[in-house]
Amino acid sequence: MKQGSVFEQRDCVCQNCGCVIHERYVPFIDRWIKDKCECIKKAEQEEELRREKTRKEFEIIENKRLSGIEPRYRSASFENYITTPENEKAHKNAMVYAKKFSSLEKKGTGLIFTGNTGSGKTHLACALANKLLDEGVKVRFITFSDLMQSINGARDYGATENALIKELQRCRLLIIDDIGTQAAAEKSKSVLFAILDKRINNFRPTIFTSNVTSLDEIKNRFNEQIYDRIKGNCYKIEILCSSHRKL
Ligand SMILES: [Zn+2]
């Protein structure tokens, strides 16, 4: 091959698609280097997109696995929620929240679903969680009783407890199921406050479900500080409905 001078370029043919491209002479290595053809650039971009898609799909599967959503609710969706004239509004509002999550998240706005046992509030909260998980949001679900059990049952007192609290403080969306079923112990209050306060200060939304009929009951079962934080940062979605379990 003829040796070229610095910056010399000439036409050549892409081996891949047959179109004309340039190659340039690089004196340091005494070689002609072909410019990257558009067909190669396009293939590389497509490959990058494919890799990114696979990475996101894998992340979604991982997020679902680690979400803490119980098997019974893993397939809960807005579509398979049984709507009645009474709960229709709650169903609609939950869907609006999911739709507007990215803007509500910036303000740290959460929700509290209230309703009787069996009104389907956990289904609705999990439908919302599953929808956001599918969109790539990292959601963590825990029942209030499981949270307390984990805290009280931590053997290496301190370490496990702190790791769980930190995880719940940091996740993008936290769902605490079934709070306020009864008057809370002092420890429950301080743990819930530690989680909530940190999340609110960092604009991280929290969703609750509870069988209280009025938020004032939260004040009685927890305390004024917890009540203020829930009332000030969560929209209330009341589920007016007869028990789903009876249907
Ligand atoms: Zn080409």
Taking a 5 Å cut-off on Cβ, the residues next to ion ligand 1 are 14, 16-17, 37, 39
Q: What is the distance in A from the centroid of ligand 1 to the CA of 155?
A: 63
CA of 22 to the centre of ligand 1 (A): 11
Quote the ligand 1 centre to 6 CA distance (angstroms).
25
- 56 Cα–ligand 1 center, Å: 30
Mean pLDDT of 29-50: 95
User: How many A from CA of 30 to the centre of ligand 1?
Assistant: 24
Please check the confidence at residue 184 and state whether its pLDDT lies above 90. no
Give pLDDT tens digits for 93-139.
999 999 999 999 999 999 999 998 888 999 999 999 999 999 999 99
Write the DSSP string, 175-215. EEEEE-SSPPPHHHHHHHHHHHHHHHHTT--EEEEE--SST
| CA dist 219 → 86, 170, 214, 227 (Å) | 27, 25, 10, 5
Provide the pLDDT confidence category of residue 246 given band limits of 50, 70 and 90: very low
Distance from the CA of 18 to the center of ligand 1, in angstroms? Answer: 6
Q: Give the mean pLDDT of the chain.
A: 91
Can you give the pLDDT at residue 3?
Answer: 57
Q: Can you tell me the mean pLDDT for 197-213?
A: 95
pLDDT band at 156 (very low <50, low <70, confident <90, very high): low
Ligand 1 mean position, distance from CA 17 (Å): 4
> How close is the Cα of 12 to the center of ligand 1, in Å?
11
Instruction: For residue 158, report the phi and psi dihedrals to the nearest 5 degrees.
Output: 115, -60
**Which H or E run contains 10?**
strand 9-13
pLDDT exceeding 90 applies to what percent of the chain?
Answer: 75
pLDDT greater than 50 at residue 209: yes
Q: How far is CA 133 from CA 22, 70, 110, in A?
A: 47, 14, 16
Ranges of H-type helices in 70-158: 88-99, 101-107, 121-134, 144-153
Domains defined for the chain, CATH in brackets: 1-58 (no CATH), 67-239 (3.40.50.300)
